[in-house]
Amino acid sequence: MKRVRLGLLLFLLVAGSALLAPWLVRHDPLEPDYRARYAAPSGEHLLGTDGLGRDVLSRSLAGGRVSLLIALSATGLTLLLGGLLGLLAAGVGGLTDTALSRLFDALLAFPGFLLILLVVAILGGGAAQTVLAMGVAGSPVYFRLTRGFTRSELRREYVLAARALGAARPRQLLRHALPNFVGSLGVQAASTAATFLLVEASLSYLGLGVPLPTPSWGNVLQDARSYLTRQPWAAVGPGLFLAAASLSFQFLSDGLRDVLDRRE
Amino acid sequence: MPAAVAAGTRPRSGVAPPASGGGAERNRVSRYLLTQTLSFVVTLWAVLTLVFFAVRALPGDAATILGGLDASQAQLESLRGTLGLNRSLPAQYVDYLGDLARADLGTSLRERRPVVRVLLDRLPVTLTLAGLAFALSLLVGGLLGLLAGLRPGGPFDRATLLFTTVALAVPEFWFGFLLILLFAVNLGWFPVIGLPPQGLTLAATWNLLLPAVTLAIPRAAQLARLARARVLEERGSDYVRTARSKGLRAPSVARHIAANALPGVLPLVALELGGLLTGTIVVEQVFGLPGLGLTILGSIAARDYPVVQGVTILAVTVYVLVNWLADLLQLAADPRLRAPS
């Protein structure tokens, strides 16, 4: 429970400061100030300024809003996609099950980052496209988990009892089977969110994710790379926020798993 | 399960099960090899089919890119004819598989030479980088995991936990930034970017060390975590207690633990090795290294789809191949898997 609380606190801190950024910081994340280029951290600019004199703290917070939104939406999508199709495959069985299983096997046989890169190349860069690409690439894991859990739950006696009482398949799946493993999916989802944060950063760093000028942690870091030796501070700020956010998801995932383990 | 018990108490034995079971084991193993090989072929086919459709879904076709903006409709049509793009999708698919079987990956639109040549030119940089990173992550990750797992809760274990937590919380290119600042800018031990003009020479391999360390950091961390967990599992088992109570010294016990714990790490090692070919993309960009990663990025931007397809085919083939080999290797390393279940 300690780690869950720590993770939650860290997440609220990062997400809260990102959301409340307009009221917390004085500088516009996009507004250049040519007299204050390459400034070291000071009272005016807590994390320094970048090559155009933009405030690194403001940009880290604004970037966080975009990056967190993308990572969380992609996690939701991948959970929905893999989870629903996993329930469907296990619940219907037969040809549907075989076809879906083979499809997700093929997806799983693809190196993940390459798959995301290709989907983004097909759809073009952008926030929505990044979400879709990561959602698809992450789904095989959830399909497998959900399908496996559901199949084992459907064999249990309480499901048989529900069936005997006349519960239809959708009700057996959603009301009876799903609640028994939704916690395990949550553990996995928190760890996926941490991964997606890093993947989004890499994509945007490569210029394939969120296009400038909208700041995300990845493209702020891409920008920082071009004058890294002159102004390391521009890379430090967003990196620290990114680390805090992905750590919070890691803590949540580990903590939730411990809680579930103890309950069993 | 006599064989499993024997293997459990005598980890490194490798002793064949009782004579009567010898033929049966061989049968089981060859059946396993056959199914694994079949599933390898099917997976490879499925993945290559996925690549075919993915590349055809990319915006704009080769004719519009070759023809340029001011090509007339008639010119485009004739280009499509020579490129075989006006044929039906199934016909193109059959051609695609036929070309693959002959290791013909088409012609680069940008460089006007066979894709295979382009790949062969860029492969040495990526392979050296991936090889170095792999060796580093295996060595560091395996060692950290083993030593941390042998003394859980100790100072070394805590230090390892700190390392793995941080290493997995930040994108790898950020460590690349730190390494550049520290070792290239401040200490001047390495060049800040790229390779010398003559390309990858033995001396230039030095330039690949920072990128290799960058790549290795998160992979070593992941490996260390899994290895530690496996070692912890083995530590509690009966054969370890027996070995200790009969007075076996710690290094020998550790050797037994390692022999039992490490085969379980192989699937992850395979995933990492297979993924390294595409894992280099970001790091090549950070350090300006002309390998496969920069090639695929440049080809996506220039819509040089034959090259995008070529790099993808190479990467997924290696990925599937490595995972298949890891299954076989695990079978060779862990006699328990050969026992009847």
For residue A43, what is the DSSP state? Answer: S
Query: Looking at beta carbons, which residues of chain B come within 8 Å of A7?
Result: none
| Run of H or E including B51 | helix B19-57
**Of B304, B299, B291, whose CA–CA distance to B65 is shortest?**
B304
Q: Which residue of B has its CA nearest to A200?
A: B171
Phi-psi region of B16 (alpha: psi -120 to 50; beta: other; left: phi over 0): beta
Amino acid at B158: R
pLDDT in tens, A212-221: 788 888 888 8
How does pLDDT run across A135-177, given as a tens digit for each residue?
999 999 999 999 988 888 888 888 888 888 888 888 888 888 8
- Amino acid B2: pLDDT: 36
Chain B interface includes A206 (CB < 8 A):
yes
Q: Which of A106, A218, A243 has its CB closest to that of B47?
A: A106
List the single residue in B46, B174, B297 with the smallest CB-CB distance to A239: B174
- CB atoms < 10 A from the CB of B46, how many? 18
Number of domains in chain A: 1
For residue A189, give the CATH number of its domain: 1.10.3720.10
In this prediction the pTM is 0.83
pLDDT tens series, chain B, 341 aa: 333 333 333 333 344 444 445 677 777 778 878 887 888 888 888 888 888 888 877 776 667 777 766 777 777 777 777 776 777 788 888 888 888 888 888 888 778 889 899 999 888 889 999 999 999 999 999 999 988 988 888 899 999 989 998 898 888 888 888 888 888 777 877 776 667 666 667 667 778 888 999 999 999 998 998 889 888 888 888 888 888 888 888 888 888 888 888 777 887 888 778 778 778 899 998 888 888 999 998 888 887 888 888 888 888 888 888 888 877 887 777 777 666 55
B279 closest CB neighbour out of A113, A124, A232: A113
Dist. CA B138–CA B132, nearest whole Å: 10
Give the pLDDT score at A245: 92
- Residue A204: domain span: 2-263
Q: Does A188 touch chain B (CB under 8 A)?
A: no
pLDDT in tens, B192-219: 666 766 666 766 777 888 899 999 999 9
Q: How far is A162 from chain B (nearest CA, A)?
A: 34
Q: Percentage of residues in chain A with pLDDT exceeding 90?
A: 25
CB contact under 8 Å between A206 and B297, yes or no, is yes
What pLDDT sits at residue B3? 37
The per-residue b/e assignment along B122-131, b for 16 or more CB within 10 angstroms, e otherwise, is: beebbbbbbe
